[in-house]
Amino acid sequence: MLSWVDGQPASQLPLTDRGLAYGDGLFETLRVSGGRIPLLTLHLRRLAAGAQRLAIGLDLAQVEEELRTFAALLGQGVAKLIVTRGDGLRGYASPAESRPRRILQASALPQWPSQHAEQGVRLFACQTRLAEQPLLAGLKHLNRLEQVMARAEWQDPAFAEGLLCDTSGRIIEGVFSNLLLVSDGVLLLPDLQRCGVAGVMRAALLQAADEQGIAWRIDDLSVEDLLRADEVLLCNSLYGVWPVQGYLQRDWPVGPLTRKLQAIAHTLLEG
């Protein structure tokens, strides 16, 4: 398996890495097509925002160069970038001088059933709730235990994704996707200022919506809002867009705006 640590081929990490000890870091999961990363600018933008908020002194130009070289070697698949604060001694306090560590791993692109994109998927109603922490909201940080617990709730292949709400009952996202609703022709997105991951494909679709005159709004959304929606869809930077065909006792047809956004996502990922 192709893997690098700090720009060099490697397969081991020091036991003193703070990413292992405390989840002290960030990650990006990047689709690679034809030796390039289609949404690289947006990935780097989110990584930069996360590094700034966590006070990790990251050389973004160096990261970008490594990602481009790594993608060219990989050709097709998935590149996972993990950035940790680096090594540290025992204790939560960050070292006075830390050297961020960059870890890159390659894998094959997951092969999801074609009906996920064509006919849509059903959502599992997760009981796990996302904690509200505005300081970490939107970031793709290394602390993913909530998602691990949520994904462990179901094994039934009839459900391709799970719906996550926060501790106040607001709908937030899927376990590994962002959630979007369509109501009266308006694209509705859950507010991610308290928790959740601000996905790269989500950001790309909002940019495209502005360019194409598609109305959208970010708001606090409830399960009732979800059940009243005309269309429901999921997105992420690996698979693009999946229509949601059902949740609990509610079923949806695959609507026109969902298909339009799906075509946009396909173009962004495949060119």
Q: Which two tokens stand for residue 32?
A: 């690679």
Whether 173 is catalytic:
yes
Whether 80 is catalytic:
no
**What φ, ψ does residue 251 adopt, rounded to 5°?**
-120, 150
Contact yes or no for 175/144 (Cβ under 8 A): no
Dmax of the chain from CA atoms?
Answer: 56
Contact yes or no for 172/200 (Cβ under 8 A): no
Q: What is the CA radius of gyration of the chain?
A: 19
Whether 224 is catalytic:
no
Per annotation, catalytic residue among 28, 66, 161, 173? 173
271/269 Cα distance (integer angstroms): 6
Per annotation, catalytic residue among 28, 66, 84, 140? 140
Q: CB neighbours (10 Å) of residue 104? A: 24
Strand partners for 121: 244
Per annotation, catalytic residue among 28, 29, 231, 258? 29
The total number of residues shown for the chain amounts to 271
Non-local (6+) Cβ contacts of 191 within 8 A are: 170, 218, 219, 220, 221
185/215 Cα distance (integer angstroms): 7
- Catalytically active residues are 29, 140, 173
